[in-house]
Amino acid sequence: MTSSTILRLETIESPPSGQPLERGPAIRALLESVVRDTHHGAAPAGDRGRAGRPRRTRRQVARLGLATATASVLAIAALAVGGVLRPDGGVAQAATPPLLGHEVATGDPAGTMLSVLARQAATTPTVDGVDTTIRTERWSLAVTVGVLPGDGAAPEGAAPEGAAVESHGEGSASGVVGPPVTTAVIPVLREFTRHEDGAVSVHEVGGEPQFPTDAYRRAWDDAGRPGPHGSVVRSDTMPPGSYAFAFPADLPAEPDRLRELLESERPDAAHDAGALLLAVHELRHEQVLSGAVLAGVLDVLAAEPGVIELGRTTDRAGRTAIAVAADSEVSGWPVRQVLLLDPEDGLILGFEQVLTADVETVDVAAPAVIDYTTFQ
Amino acid sequence: MSVVEEETTAREPSDEQLWSRARRGDPSAFGDLFTRHAHTVYTFCFRLTANWNTAEDLTTVVFLEAWRRRGEPEANVATLVPWLLGIASQVARHSTRAVRRHRKLLAKLPPAVVDGDPTANAAARAETEQQMKQILRVFRRLPQREQEVLALCVWGERTTAEAAIALGIPVGTARSRLARAHEHLRRLMEASTPARAAAGAGLAAARAREATPR
């Protein structure tokens, strides 16, 4: 026992006490809404016998059975096996990053706000003639082995776990780093540099593991802390002309022409607001947008009625952001696409995909973040 | 002790009145109960988890669970706070499951906003979390049943009678578990003279409360 521990024991009678709840009013409002929505004149007698037996248990058993029966087809990589079967029940589902707070909230059309942001973005100066580097932190949920992205079983862009995967731009569909991971969210830190001579460099490093709860951290520790934290995942430099960009370097600023380009890369964007947000994310992933082009992109989104405003939040880098979103099912999953914008100049700070309802093929409890990119 | 429940005055409705109104479907009555007892529950949850963020989520879950269980016989007004702390003990022990059950509601909450100097606040929170983790390191070496009684009686400021209600066990059982917990704790701390002295002070305080009916 260390001396510091002994000192702390002196406080065992009166350990640290509570600070004010940071979200007290919001919690109260939530509780009141629950009473309002669920009161039906009498106490729920039917709940008495189920107090300790959530309906979830039955669903988990069903999922486990499904996973067992289809094991030869669906290796639910890094999800069910390491999680559901834990005897202590501490980690029952795949680790996913925490929601940013109100990513699943309802919202009003974002058109007006986006138009204002577009005007602010238009004043952003453009830097030409130098190398541009796009730094991101990205994580994607593992889906299935043997199922290609975009075939309807998973949102395009979702990829094998650990998130040590990059499937954009250069078309790398693999990239799993280290052994499959069951309990940690491991982002990849990526530097994507477009050199002035046309060459492209990609440098990726395993990020800091994240854990939804202490139970996941303990499971991670018990497993020997596998993963690529700090190690170089990829370091490539491609000569001029060898990298297949999805979008031309000389982007137009006119909203109509921008929309055509976005739809050419994502045809679903013609009728699905979520796909449109996904296309914008992909554009941002390979280019640093000039103020004029960013304004055009924001105008495109402003004209899309399916894009709603979720209000201000704090992104994963601790920055204040305005969230806009659109629900989409074109991937085959019920997913909300969320774009995070700088409230001052409209810069794209991040992009997230949130699973909004449970799906059979993956043991993730919706709502859950299944993919995120933070632009640094 | 630092867990302080807000005093009620003659002008304020009692817990009994608020709970009765809430169960009849009055949202503000349930909101008032939350405002009145949230600090007690929050502090208790923190002491069981050593994490302020987790404690805030669990506090929400405790009240959601209280509402869900409002039809249970134990949900009677004379024992509301012990009952809430009993729920807190359960959800803290199975926090992953408890949070998962209410995840959709929790997801509706806005992100936390730190008042004042964020850096100073974060430092204070980290320091208290570290203190609590050190305490829990010793506390969790006790048998689970003894932890529950000791937490309710010492950290939750409940009498053994109230702890018994919270845990759904006879008073005599709660009393004997508390005595065993005292003894186990004392043994754990015997390796260090200063620590033993501290334990003695803590247990004396708990016994003093024991003699004071609520």
Whether A13 sits inside 8 A of B94 (CB atoms) is no
Whether B60 sits inside 8 A of A31 (CB atoms) is yes
Strand partners, A338: A325, A352
At A52-65, the pLDDT tens digits run: 333 333 343 333 33
In the prediction, which pLDDT does B208 show? Answer: 41
pLDDT at residue A35 greater than cutoff 80: yes
Q: Which residues of chain A make contact with B116, given a CB cutoff of 8 A?
A: none
pLDDT at residue A228 greater than cutoff 50: yes
Q: Which residues of chain B make contact with A22, given a CB cutoff of 8 A?
A: 56, 112-115
Strand order of the β-sheet with A348-355 is A108-109, A308-314, A320-328, A335-341, A348-355, A368-375, A132-140, A188-194, A200-206, A232-238
At A337-376, the pLDDT tens digits run: 999 999 999 999 999 999 888 776 666 778 888 889 999 8
At B51-93, the pLDDT tens digits run: 888 889 899 999 999 998 887 776 766 678 888 998 998 888 8
Mention every residue, 6+ apart, whose C-beta is less than 8 A from residue A109.
Answer: A305, A307, A308, A309
The distance of Cα A2 from the centroid of its chain, to the nearest Å, equals: 42
Over residues A2-24, mean pLDDT: 63
Which CATH number does B11-114 carry?
Answer: 1.10.1740.10
CA angle A201, A204, A206 (to 5 degrees): 175
When mean pLDDT is compared across A68-72, A126-130, A188-192, the lowest value belongs to A68-72
Whether B54 sits inside 8 A of A91 (CB atoms) is no
In the prediction, which pLDDT does A176 show? Answer: 32
User: What number of residues does chain B have?
Assistant: 214
* DSSP, residue by residue, A8-49: HHTTSSS---PPPPTTHHHHHHHHHHHHHHH--SS--GGGGG
Domain ranges of chain B: 11-114, 141-214
Residue for token pair 């509706």: B108
Mean residue pLDDT across chain A: 71
Q: Does residue B180 sit in helix, strand or coil?
A: helix
At B128-164, the pLDDT tens digits run: 888 888 888 888 888 888 888 889 988 888 888 888 8
Q: How confident is the model at residue A36 (pLDDT cuts 50, 70, 90)?
A: confident
* DSSP, residue by residue, B73-134: TT--GGGHHHHHHHHHHHHHHTHHHHHHHTHHHHTTSPPP---S-HHHHHHHHHHHHHHHHH
In the prediction, which pLDDT does A358 show? Answer: 78
Compute the distance between CA of residue B163 and CA of residue A25 in angstroms, rounded to an integer: 29
Q: Which residues of chain B make contact with A214, given a CB cutoff of 8 A?
A: 49, 51, 54
Mention every residue, 6+ apart, whose C-beta is less than 8 A from residue A127.
Answer: none
Structure-model confidence comparison of residues B160 and A7, the more confident one:
B160
Q: Which residues of chain A make contact with B132, given a CB cutoff of 8 A?
A: 15-16
**B44 to chain A nearest CA, in Å?**
8
In the prediction, which pLDDT does A40 show? Answer: 54
pLDDT at residue B206 greater than cutoff 80: no
**A108 to chain B nearest CA, in Å?**
16
Of A1, A28, A104, the CB nearest to B191: A1
Structure-model confidence comparison of residues B42 and A233, the more confident one:
B42
Over residues A286-300, mean pLDDT: 94
Interface test with A, best of B100, B152, B184, B209 (most A CBs within 10 A): B100
> Scanning every residue of chain A, which has its alpha carbon at the shortest distance from the alpha carbon of B31?
A28
Whether B202 sits inside 8 A of A47 (CB atoms) is no
Compute the distance between CA of residue A195 and CA of residue B150 in angstroms, rounded to an integer: 64
Q: Specify whether the CB–CB gap between A102 and A311 falls below 8 A.
A: yes
In the prediction, which pLDDT does A37 show? Answer: 80
Which CATH number does B141-214 carry?
Answer: 1.10.10
Backbone angles phi, psi at A296, to 5 degrees: -60, -40
Q: How confident is the model at residue B38 (pLDDT cuts 50, 70, 90)?
A: very high
Structure-model confidence comparison of residues A46 and B144, the more confident one:
B144
Amino acid in position B208? A
